[in-house]
Amino acid sequence: MRADLSIKIEQDYKRAAVLLDQLLDTVGENQRHPLFGFLEVLGTLVESYESDHVKIKGATGGEVLAFLMEEHGLTQSDLPEIGSQGVVSEILHGRRELNTRQIKALSKRFGVSPATFF
């Protein structure tokens, strides 16, 4: 019998997202790290849940980013991978669009598909 490894409820999703952030901080891109396989599996589970439950229809990339920041308890200064606090502010207020590099970095950080930001 095969176990169902999907995330079914929001509370489990939030816990998984926090753990995913911690794993990303610890493992990074080191494919030789002993937890890299777990990071990939957890990222897939979180992404699957988000694609079914979190996707914000018709939202801008900045609005999606604001939602994810709130869900993860982040501030504008917590996202150096997309730019300075000022750049993040401009994105959140619709004065600047996310570029491809930023979308890739955010999708990796939050474990979501890049399509989430389109």
Looking at this protein, which amino acid is placed at residue 46? V
Q: How many CB atoms lie within 10 A of CB 4?
A: 6
Annotate 26-52 with b (16+ C-beta within 10 A) or e (fewer).
Answer: ebeeeeeeeeeeebeebbebbbebbee
User: Each residue of 7-48: pLDDT tens digit?
Assistant: 888 899 889 988 988 988 898 878 899 999 998 899 888 888
User: Each residue of 58-86: pLDDT tens digit?
Assistant: 789 999 999 999 989 999 999 999 999 99
The domain segmentation of the chain, as residue ranges, is 9-54, 58-113
The answer to whether 64 and 117 have CB atoms below 8 angstroms apart is yes
At residue 54, the pLDDT reads: 64
What class, spelled out in words, does domain 58-113 have in CATH?
A: mainly alpha
User: Is the torsion defined by CA of 111, 11, 55, 86 positive or negative?
Assistant: negative
The model's confidence at residue 111, banded by pLDDT at 50, 70 and 90, is: confident
The answer to whether 91 and 61 have CB atoms below 8 angstroms apart is yes
Residue 56 has pLDDT above 70, yes or no: no
